[in-house]
Amino acid sequence: MTEGTTTSAAAEGADTLTRLEQEGEIAADYLEGLLDIADLDGDIDMDVEADRASVSIISDAGGRDLQKLVGRDGEVLEALQELTRLAVHRETGDRSRLMLDIAGYRAKKRTELSELGAKAAAEAKSSGQAVKLDAMTPFERKVVHDAVKAAGLRSESEGEDRSASSSCFPPDRLLVSSAPSVAQTGPNFQPDSSVVLVSAPDVGTVRKDGSP
C-alpha cells in the first residue's frame, strides 16, 4: 500500500467517523425531545460501534420507567429506532443504520442471543443436522449469525424480510448448518471424513405465528 493510498484511507475513515458522530448527535437531540414530551428521565450515551452510530438511553433509577419505551419483546424500541433513523435522515439526507438501546435491553438481548447461537452451532456440529430457530427481528438474526460464524459454521435466514412500509416484523426462520463457513474452509477446501456437509432443509411456508 502506497503512502498516498494510506493517507486516503485514513481521511476516509475520519470522514466516516465524523458522519457517524453527527448521526449520534442528531439522534440524541431527537430523543431528548421525546423524553421531555413523555416526561421521562434518562441520560443519553453516544458511541460508534461496528461502523454505525450507537445511542443508548439509560437511567440511574434502574430503568423501570424507561421500560415503557422498550415495550413487549422490544416492539416499542424497534419503532423508536426507526423514528430516530428517520429523524437523522431528515437532517442529513443519508440513510442511517443507527442502533438504539434503551435501559440495556439490546445489550442483555445480545448476550442471550449469542449464547443461543453458540448452543445451536454446537448442536448442529454434534448432530450433523441443520437446526431451526424461531422467528427473529433483523437485529436478533444478526447477533445469532455472528455467533454461528464465530463457531466456524454457517447460517442462513429464510422467510420474508420486514416490509419497508411497516414496523411489523414478519417471521423469519434461522437455519444453522453443520457445513463449515467459507472463512474456516477457504476457497480450495476439500472436506475429509470428519466433516459433515448438510444442506438446509426446506422449512416450507412460515405463518405469522412462526410455525411451519
In this prediction the pTM is 0.66
Angle between helices 138-150 and 105-127 in degrees, nearest 10: 50
Q: How far is CA 207 from CA 4, 106, 160, in A?
A: 54, 26, 10
Fold of 108-185: Ribosomal Protein S8; Chain: A, domain 1 (3.30.1370)
**Range 71-81 average pLDDT:** 92
Digit-coded pLDDT (tens) for 91-116: 999 999 999 999 999 999 999 999 99
Grid cell for residue 200: 438446509
Digit-coded pLDDT (tens) for 146-194: 888 888 888 887 765 542 222 222 334 566 655 555 444 444 433 332 2
How many CA atoms lie within 13 Å of 191's alpha carbon, on the beta-carbon side? 11
Strands lying side by side in the sheet with 131-133: 131-133, 172-180, 153-159
pLDDT of residue 56: 96
CB 149 within 8 A of CB 183: yes
Distance CA 86, CA 93 (A): 10
pLDDT of residue 6: 61
CB 98 within 8 A of CB 52: yes
Does the structural domain 3-103 have CATH classification 3.30.300.20?
Answer: yes
* Percent of the chain predicted with pLDDT > 90: 40
Q: What is the DSSP-derived secondary structure letter of residue 95?
A: -
Domain range list for the chain: 3-103, 108-185
Distance CA 48, CA 32 (A): 19
Digit-coded pLDDT (tens) for 49-68: 878 999 999 987 666 789 99
CB 94 within 8 A of CB 49: no
Look at the block and give the residue holding cell 448432530.
127
